[in-house]
């Protein structure tokens, strides 16, 4: 727009601004009368004695008879009348009696502050508030209402099977603010004692109500009460629930006589809302003072309630946890009734009389909770955040009244050791988790695992999970969690209280352990600007001391409940302090290949390597047996909400990556007996913005899960001959896979192992027939082999036909894998025999390496029966050369494929691609050879060894990136290793490392291991028979069962080393 030639006016002076502001503040309508502002400040409802708030924020309780005469029973605070007792209130009556954990689950901090402010706003103090507009949730109302619970015994006791408000549960909830002391906060014994005292007082409140007459049975028994003005309200027993309740005016009754002495025991429906006492309660001793759980103890004299929100840093797996403060030094109400004279009898229980006077009338008294009750819903509602199974549909409930009767999803199979789980809506402060949604989640998860891990009990989640497991009757074990934060024991005790309610209600038979802390040390050190390298520093030890204190508190708390469970700790993999490791019963590591920048196809190997190497570092300095070790979290994100964060190094957050990691990790972890909790069952949409949105999308149940564990049901065959006098006994318990078999691959691991074994069978089939047909009878005779020996080779070829057919059937792919073309490195019978025993060693060791890890036990059984015959074939070829050994070594599929591939020149294009890694070839340039031996064939022959310990071995290899194998499949050698440092000798039961020297690019030398025996005192040589050697970058500790860890360290090889 065009510029104006007008000059800008100078800024106003302070005097002019002050004068302008006075035109608003000087208006008489905005000024309060002298003292009124101070009076309104004093007129508080929360945090002041009950007598005080009744003077200005109360309503009368009255009834009318058939003649219209009004009977005034007394006065109660507006906050009580509005929420429960008034005719225009009734909010909790109508909305809260069927809500689980009504007074235990916190409401929204923001809405609670708003609601409290409305009830403290003069002059109405909330009398005209309409809670039915839906602005506040039941838990919002109940949370603010905790100090003013009055006339609810009948209402809640009638439905205690749903609201679960037992005397024990109420004692756990209200103990911190009613009967506790700061000096006893760290004492589990004092904690339990004070809770038991409060529970007793609640359950037996009638014994402590003094000077109260029995309630009248009939309204007609009462006399009309004249309306008078009273400076002090009079509280009279409420006759029955059916009485008409109003909220008008104030009355007093000085004419009604009251009996002195102990009040008789009455039924729950007859209990009074307020006790009468002719004398004031004694002042509260200092030992009973209870400051705010979050505020400073120096503020314990304050009588005004202030609400505070405290946000604390949480880990990647849980959001911030705001907490609401409780009154500092809240003064208990003294004597609400008008004094009428000295008490003639009845005991006085110190300062607890005033407490009981409020608690006995205010706290909801529930009956014994039944653990088995029907669901009120006719169907199970969808969680919303959960991904309901592979097909996207929730379980079908065959009986709406019984959640245990649900149809299983055929796509969900027992695969995971465990799953990490956070129910939808279990995050503070919203807390919207529902039992129906948790039941649906449990129904789904029970089909893929028997173990679930919870992070904490916030928002009633432990209670809901245990309730859902009981209702669904599934076989699941829970790892309960406590999620403390540094420098805050209040949060810790709150969570212990919630766990206690769940444990007392459902028992602990299906509780495996209690984990204390999730990434506690990570958060503690991060807040100090420190990292994992400082985990055992003096600063870290201070954080560890806090954890150890909470371990001890938890153990004492469990012991006090008569519970014996493990106390464990979970943290990021590199953030375990030495003191924590020594104190914990088990350690649970969060190990995420995605955050390490590892591609998905290498994630499983990275997790195994990282976990094993890290545990070795942790356990090495220990002076006592190490704790049990678990993987608490591992997984892969399927997407990111922010495209700028969908990658982390070489890691990509996508569905393909998640499926790859599932395929390569889950079943292999089970085969290796790795106890890992997959993170996690369902996506977590409430984490939408964390870490670019990648945190929200780790749910695993939206993809295909292979059957890794299969079904463990045992089928016991019972004889139909009931007349038999010698019935067969059932088999011993245990065993695996004794149910009707399915001879098919149960995972991608199985399938790739099977087609690798099939390619092994095909090359042996071709090799045996080729050698038999190429060389004449004379050629064999010149090599010292007769016609029977030659025919044995043909017979072994016939055996391979049966092996190939059986293994091809196991693949279940319609015979997709067919024989290839091969190239062999021999020109005479001796070369043929030697190469045949080498190739059969590949198959023998390779198959032994993966059989125990297969998910399909049925398939492994068939292959095992075939490999036993092939081991004899291999020995037959070796007997032609006369070489003994004790144990057959095992190698991995990638090692076997690397040995086989160079001899395959071309395969049918329809053959499935083999996914195992292909390592660069390794050559032993001075390898010993039995072909040059002067000895002929023989079943047994005594001769000198071809090698000896300390022999120099020269090695050469080629770099990765070379094309090897069938030329039409474009297989390329790969490696994850760095520099060549060691030679790994794989022989019999051992992997032995010797250092490399004279290293020159792709050449080096080493020496044959000096170890002579496997077992001291026994003549079982380490290097003997079948030996494989590979060039590696690190001397990692492996055994025959977890040899696959070595794959990620191989630079070249393996090569077969003919030691004997």
Distance CA 473, CA 406 (A): 11
Q: How far is CA 47 from CA 116, 148, 689, in A?
A: 11, 11, 38
Which pLDDT does position 801 carry in this prediction? 82
Is the peptide bond between 30 and the residue preceding it cis, with omega within 30 degrees of 0? no
How long is the chain? 1060
Which pLDDT does position 166 carry in this prediction? 66
pLDDT of residue 564 exceeding 90, the answer is: yes
Is the model more confident about 630 or about 113?
Answer: 630
| Count of helices and strands (H, E) across the chain | 27, 22
Distance CA 64, CA 1060 (A): 109
> Are 697 and 385 contacting, i.e. CB atoms less than 8 angstroms apart?
no
- Backbone φ, ψ for residue 505 (5° rounding): -80, -40
Distance CA 615, CA 279 (A): 67
Mean pLDDT score, 245-260: 33
Domain borders along the chain are 50-362, 418-696, 744-880, 916-940+948-1060
First to last CA, the chain: 97
pLDDT confidence band for 971 (50 / 70 / 90): very high
Distance CA 232, CA 234 (A): 7
Distance CA 817, CA 759 (A): 8
Read off the tokens for 870: 């092939």
pLDDT of residue 680 exceeding 90, the answer is: no
Which of 33-37, 407-411, 565-569, 602-606 has the largest mean confidence? Answer: 565-569
Residues 6+ apart with CB under 8 A from 858: 737, 741, 742, 743, 744
Pick the range with the lowest mean pLDDT from 232-241, 760-769, 818-827: 232-241
Read off the tokens for 291: 């400051």
Distance CA 760, CA 895 (A): 13
Of the candidates 1028, 1030, 897, which has an alpha carbon nearest to the alpha carbon of residue 966?
897
Of the candidates 481, 379, 391, which has an alpha carbon nearest to the alpha carbon of residue 440?
379
Q: What is the mean pLDDT of the chain?
A: 70
Could you read off the pLDDT of 990-1018 as tens digits, one per residue?
788 999 999 999 999 999 887 654 445 55
Strand partners, 972: 963
Mean pLDDT score, 612-623: 86
Distance CA 122, CA 75 (A): 18
Which pLDDT does position 164 carry in this prediction? 62
Is the model more confident about 663 or about 273?
Answer: 663
pLDDT of residue 972 exceeding 80, the answer is: yes
Q: Is 453 helix (H, G, I), strand (E, B) or coil?
A: strand
**What's the whole-model pTM score?**
0.42
Distance CA 279, CA 337 (A): 9
- Strands, E assignment, 548-646: 566-572, 586-590, 628-634
Label residue 1058 left, alpha or beta by phi (over 0 means left) and psi (-120 to 50 means alpha). beta
pLDDT of residue 787 exceeding 80, the answer is: yes
Which pLDDT does position 533 carry in this prediction? 92
> Are 430 and 108 contacting, i.e. CB atoms less than 8 angstroms apart?
yes
Q: How far is CA 990 from CA 619, 892, 1037, in A?
A: 22, 14, 10
Of the candidates 927, 1049, 1047, which has an alpha carbon nearest to the alpha carbon of residue 981?
1049
pLDDT of residue 710 exceeding 50, the answer is: no
Domain topology for 744-880: Ferritin (1.20.1260)
Can you give 830-869 as a three-state secondary structure string? HHHHHHHHHHHHHHHHHHHHHHCCCCCHHHHHHHHHHHHH
Distance CA 974, CA 1051 (A): 8
CATH classification of 418-696, choosing from 3.40.50.720, 3.30.420.40, 3.20.20.80, 1.10.3720.10? 3.20.20.80
Residues 6+ apart with CB under 8 A from 15: none
> Are 163 and 157 contacting, i.e. CB atoms less than 8 angstroms apart?
no
């Amino acid at each position: 727009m065009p510029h104006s030639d007008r000059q800008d006016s100078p800024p106003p002076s302070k005097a002019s601004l002050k004068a302008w502001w006075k035109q608003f503040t000087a208006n008489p309508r905005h000024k309060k009368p002298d003292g009124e502002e101070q009076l309104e400040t004093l007129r508080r409802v929360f945090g002041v004695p009950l007598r005080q708030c009744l003077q200005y924020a109360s309503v009368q309780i009255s009834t009318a008879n058939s003649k219209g005469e009004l009977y005034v029973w007394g006065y109660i605070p507006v906050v009580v009348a509005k929420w429960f007792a008034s005719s225009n209130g009734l909010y909790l009556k109508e909305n809260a009696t069927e809500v689980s954990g009504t007074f235990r689950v916190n409401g929204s901090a923001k809405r609670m502050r708003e609601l409290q402010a409305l009830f403290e706003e003069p002059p109405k103090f909330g009398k005209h508030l309409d809670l039915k507009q839906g602005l506040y949730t039941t838990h919002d109302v109940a949370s603010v209402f905790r100090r003013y619970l009055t006339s609810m015994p009948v209402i809640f006791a009638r439905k205690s099977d749903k609201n679960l408000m037992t005397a024990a549960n109420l004692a756990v909830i209200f103990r911190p603010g009613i009967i506790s002391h700061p000096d006893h906060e760290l004492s589990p014994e004092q904690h339990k004692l004070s809770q038991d005292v409060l529970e007793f007082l609640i359950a037996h409140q009638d014994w402590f109500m003094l000077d109260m007459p029995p309630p009248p049975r009939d309204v007609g028994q009462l006399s009309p009460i004249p309306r008078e003005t009273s400076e002090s309200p009079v509280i009279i027993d409420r006759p029955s629930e059916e009485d008409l309740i109003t909220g008008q005016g104030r009355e007093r009754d000085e004419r009604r006589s009251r009996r002195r002495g102990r009040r008789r025991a009455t039924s729950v429906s007859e209990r009074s809302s307020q006790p009468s006492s002719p004398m004031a309660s004694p002042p509260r001793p200092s030992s009973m003072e209870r400051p705010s759980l979050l505020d400073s103890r120096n503020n314990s004299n304050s009588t005004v309630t202030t609400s505070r929100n405290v946000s604390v840093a949480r880990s990647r797996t849980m959001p911030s946890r705001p907490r609401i403060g409780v009154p500092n030094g809240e003064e208990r109400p003294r004597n609400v009734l008008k004094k009428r004279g000295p008490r003639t009898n009845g005991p006085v229980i110190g300062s607890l009389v005033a407490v009981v006077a409020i608690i006995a009338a205010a706290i909801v008294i529930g009956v014994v909770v039944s653990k088995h009750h029907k669901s009120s819903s006719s169907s199970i509602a969808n969680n919303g955040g959960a991904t309901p199974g592979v097909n996207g549909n929730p379980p079908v409930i065959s009986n709406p009244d019984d959640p245990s009767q649900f149809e299983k999803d055929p796509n969900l199979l027992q695969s995971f050791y465990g799953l990490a789980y956070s129910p939808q809506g279990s995050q503070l402060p919203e807390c919207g988790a529902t039992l129906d949604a948790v039941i649906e989640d449990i129904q789904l998860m029970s089909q893929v695992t028997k173990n679930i891990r919870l992070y904490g009990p916030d928002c009633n989640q432990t209670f809901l999970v245990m309730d859902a497991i009981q209702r669904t009757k599934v076989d699941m074990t829970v790892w309960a969690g406590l999620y403390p934060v540094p420098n805050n024991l209040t949060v810790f005790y709150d969570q212990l209280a919630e766990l206690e309610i769940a444990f007392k209600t459902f028992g602990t038979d299906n509780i495996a352990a209690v984990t204390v802390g999730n990434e506690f040390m990570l958060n503690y050190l991060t807040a100090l600007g420190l990292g994992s390298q400082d985990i055992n520093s003096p600063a870290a030890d201070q954080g560890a001391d806090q954890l150890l204190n909470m371990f001890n508190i938890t153990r004492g708390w469990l012991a006090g409940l008569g519970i014996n469970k493990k106390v464990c700790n979970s943290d990021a993999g590199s953030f375990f302090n030495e003191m924590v490791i020594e104190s914990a019963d088990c350690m649970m590591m969060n190990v995420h290949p995605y955050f390490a920048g590892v591609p998905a196809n290498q994630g499983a190997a990275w997790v195994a390597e990282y976990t094993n190497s890290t545990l070795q570092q942790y356990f090495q300095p220990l002076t006592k047996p190490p704790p049990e070790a678990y993987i608490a979290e591992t997984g892969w994100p399927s997407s990111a909400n922010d495209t700028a964060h969908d990658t982390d190094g070489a890691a990509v957050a996508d569905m393909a990556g998640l499926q790859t990691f599932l395929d390569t990790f889950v079943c292999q972890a089970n085969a290796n007996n790795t106890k890992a909790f997959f993170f996690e069952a369902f996506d977590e949409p409430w984490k939408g913005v964390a870490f670019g949105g990648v945190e929200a999308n780790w749910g695993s149940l939206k993809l295909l899960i292979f059957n890794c564990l299969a079904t463990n049901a045992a089928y016991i065959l019972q004889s139909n001959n009931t007349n038999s006098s010698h019935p067969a006994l059932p088999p011993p318990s245990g065993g695996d896979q004794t149910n009707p078999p399915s001879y098919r691959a149960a995972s991608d691991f199985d399938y790739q192992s099977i087609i690798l074994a099939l390619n092994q069978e095909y090359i042996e089939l071709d090799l045996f027939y080729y050698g038999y047909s190429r060389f004449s009878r004379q050629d064999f005779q010149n090599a010292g082999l007769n016609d029977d020996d030659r025919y044995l080779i043909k017979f072994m070829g016939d055996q391979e036909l049966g092996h190939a057919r059986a293994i091809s059937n196991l693949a279940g792919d319609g015979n997709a894998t067919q024989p290839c073309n091969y190239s062999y490195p021999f020109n005479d019978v001796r070369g043929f025999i030697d190469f045949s025993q080498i190739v059969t060693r590949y198959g023998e060791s390779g198959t032994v390496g993966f059989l125990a890890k297969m998910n399909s036990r049925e398939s492994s059984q068939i292959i095992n029966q075939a490999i036993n015959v092939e081991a004899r074939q291999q020995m037959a070829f070796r007997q032609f050369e006369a070489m003994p050994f004790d144990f057959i070594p095992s190698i991995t599929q990638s090692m076997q494929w690397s040995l086989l591939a160079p001899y395959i020149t071309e395969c049918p294009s329809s053959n499935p691609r083999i996914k195992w890694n292909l390592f660069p070839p390794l050559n032993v340039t001075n390898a010993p050879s039995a072909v040059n031996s002067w000895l002929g064939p023989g079943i047994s022959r005594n001769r000198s060894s071809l090698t000896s310990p300390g022999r120099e071995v020269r090695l050469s290899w080629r770099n990765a990136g070379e094309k090897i194998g069938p030329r039409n499949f474009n297989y390329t050698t790969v490696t994850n290793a760095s520099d060549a440092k060691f030679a790994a000798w794989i022989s019999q039961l051992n992997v032995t490392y010797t250092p490399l020297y004279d290293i020159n690019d792709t050449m080096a030398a080493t020496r044959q291991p000096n170890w002579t025996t496997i077992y001291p005192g026994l003549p079982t040589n380490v290097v003997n028979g079948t030996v494989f050697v590979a060039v590696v970058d690190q001397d990692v500790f492996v055994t025959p069962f977890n040899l696959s860890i070595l794959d990620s360290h191989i630079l070249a090889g393996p090569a077969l080393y003919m030691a004997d």
